[in-house]
Structure 1
Amino acid sequence: MRDPDAHWVSPEAAAPAPRADAAADLPLRALIWQRFRRRPLAYWAGVYLAAIYLALPFIGFFAPYAPNERHETRIFAAPSPLALFHDGRFVGPHTYATREVFNLDTFRMDTEADRSRPLPLRFLATCGRPHAILGIFESRFRVVCPPADGHFFLLGADRLGRDVHSRILWAAQLSLTVGLIGVTVSFAIGLVLGGIAGYFGGMVDAAVSRTIEIVRSLPELPIWLALSAAIPANWGPVSVFLIISVILGLLDWPGLARAIRSKFLSLREEDYVRAAELMGASPRRIIAAHMMPNFMSHIVASAALAVPAMILGETALSFLGLGLRAPAVSWGLMLNDALDLTVVEIYPWLLWPLAPVMMVVLAFSFLGDGLRDALDPYS
């Protein structure tokens, strides 16, 4: 008979109690992804930006017209009417022929649509001028084609009869790429100079710090304007694009360099850095393999937040006529047509390039905030 005072142990194995800190057992990459998914704005902003950048080499498939294709008879044409039903029956996506008529009462051009005959849009067909795919292959295949005997201006036409919708899509290639190139230049300079100043200290730190202070004291916008105005007028669009990207990057590195310098000044006193030095590791290896990873979350978040500043910088320069030049096309260059407020009042669709600028800037801001929190999962 079992002693009632004895401690009884069940022969069956006890199930392990759930741990409150089970997430701590996950690898760092999984923790970062889990925390990032909890920020829906940052997550969907990242999906949106990834889709845009993946589509950039294939913009020709989505744009109904070439970027500089002109329609002399449709100058300042209003957005084309788009409908699915005609006379009460479903006929699929279609538009109508339109013409501009001068209104003697308002002294403006009014658009009249001929709704007696629908003009069906063509999908996944060949039309228009050929476009290059990755700069290698040419194709006339497009997702949406205008009607065979008409025009399709989803967002209207500009002063030269060019489709605003197509030009916005083509302009994304330059306006979005200039941000990446500018950030690459800026971060390359900031990482090198900030890391050297913070690790070595002394005279090196003093020289880099004074350089940072001099560059930060310069008025940014006038320097942008001066350097952009100094670009020779006979340079091609590609050369101007690269120079504008470098200019934007050269004036934006001091902030990152100062942040990295201050971080490295504290990290170089850590035990693992001292141990690496005693083991004979080179300064380059210590900075790259031991110190930089501890600062990577701030670097990635700062890069995501710096790209929209570069995009806005290019947009401002092109808007003022000192950035990219025709026949190149960018969002800022398109907004240059909206300098005349009288024209904008009559043709408000010329302001449509503002929409992608605002959407991309907001998306990068949401993504940068989400990455800043996700890359530090233990905070």
Structure 2
Amino acid sequence: MAKQMVDQLVLQHKKVFVRADLNVPLKDGKISDDNRIVQACPTLKYLISKQARVIVLSHLGKVKHSDPIKAAEQMKKNDLAVVAVRLSELLGKKVTFVSATRGAELEQAITALKDGDVLLMQNTRYEVGEEKNSEELGTYWASLCDIYVNDAFGSCHRAHASTYSLPMACKKANKPTAIGYLVEKEIASLSRCVEAKEHPYIAVMGGSKVSDKIKVIEGLLKKADKILIGGAMAFTFMKALGKEVGKSLVELDQVDFAKRCLIEGKGRICLPLDYIMADSLSEPSREEVSKNQNVAIDMMGLDVGPKTNEFYKEELTGAKIVFWNGPLGAFENPLFANGTKSICEAIVNLKNCFSVIGGGDSASAVAQYGYSSRFSHVSTGGGASLEMIENDGHLPGIDVIEEAK
């Protein structure tokens, strides 16, 4: 069943709480990448055009409440005031910022809103109950609004107060809940990867840890025709095959899982044929290409090699769906970026293929290479996109929203 959309609601004069994902990277107190703010704007602009009174909620960074000194430092650093300024510029109108998550100041500011006004409240993680999915906090926030809209796909896999308790409380109070345009777009694109109706379906899995991808690999084994493995996680699979991995990163506690995957996959899991090896990641004094799948005992594999690039390009030929998550090497260093760039170029040059990047570092890589617009969809939520594949399309922040009438 489709979820209720924001454009199916009567919005004029209504106080609308919008859970957005404004969790942008900050460097020296300045926004270094405003993409998430840009992505939030279509839903907010629609609400403004319909004369809603818009209250935006978001988290920013982490706040470790169990350590009061650390929490104070993090709260100072992760203040949403700087985001309010950029949001105002992108919307082309004033955004009132309230440095509170509850209490008289926030309540008075919401009461003072006029049709078409926008208010951004302080970082939801300033509240100790946010990450605990506090029912009290969700009920309190629900008391301040008429409608709840979730447009924070990157947080939909987390059952927090602002993504779960709040919409639950709205539903109990017979207040409408809906998804925004960004979440709608994410669901539409990722559903094609979940439903797996088009074949050949190729998954490309990279990154450093198998442990981060256990459930998604299990899910993809049921859906994909082939899974191409890269990144440091490949060495855990190589260890399972009895190959020499040298000083490469290996998760010894995941070797049995890798063995099981290789048996269950019955030839559908493809592993690198060669590697770019070096004696160090941070300060390599020598690097060379391995002759085969074994890494020299005094070196580490830091990227897939040229034979692998050609092999994976051939495996991708004719693909109708490609889902990619995780770089194939330590791409931040140009010496070890070729595998990631090669797979990127191979995917964007496929004809009649629906290509999806599951957020995270692979999204950063394609942006760096200038290829983002050539993918069918680049997800804004790394963890959320993976969990959507794992859980057959279900995420708590989406499941809680009422169905379309």
TM-score tier, shorter chain, comes to: under 0.3
User: Is the radius of gyration larger for structure 1 or structure 2?
Assistant: 1
Q: Which has the higher helix share?
A: 1
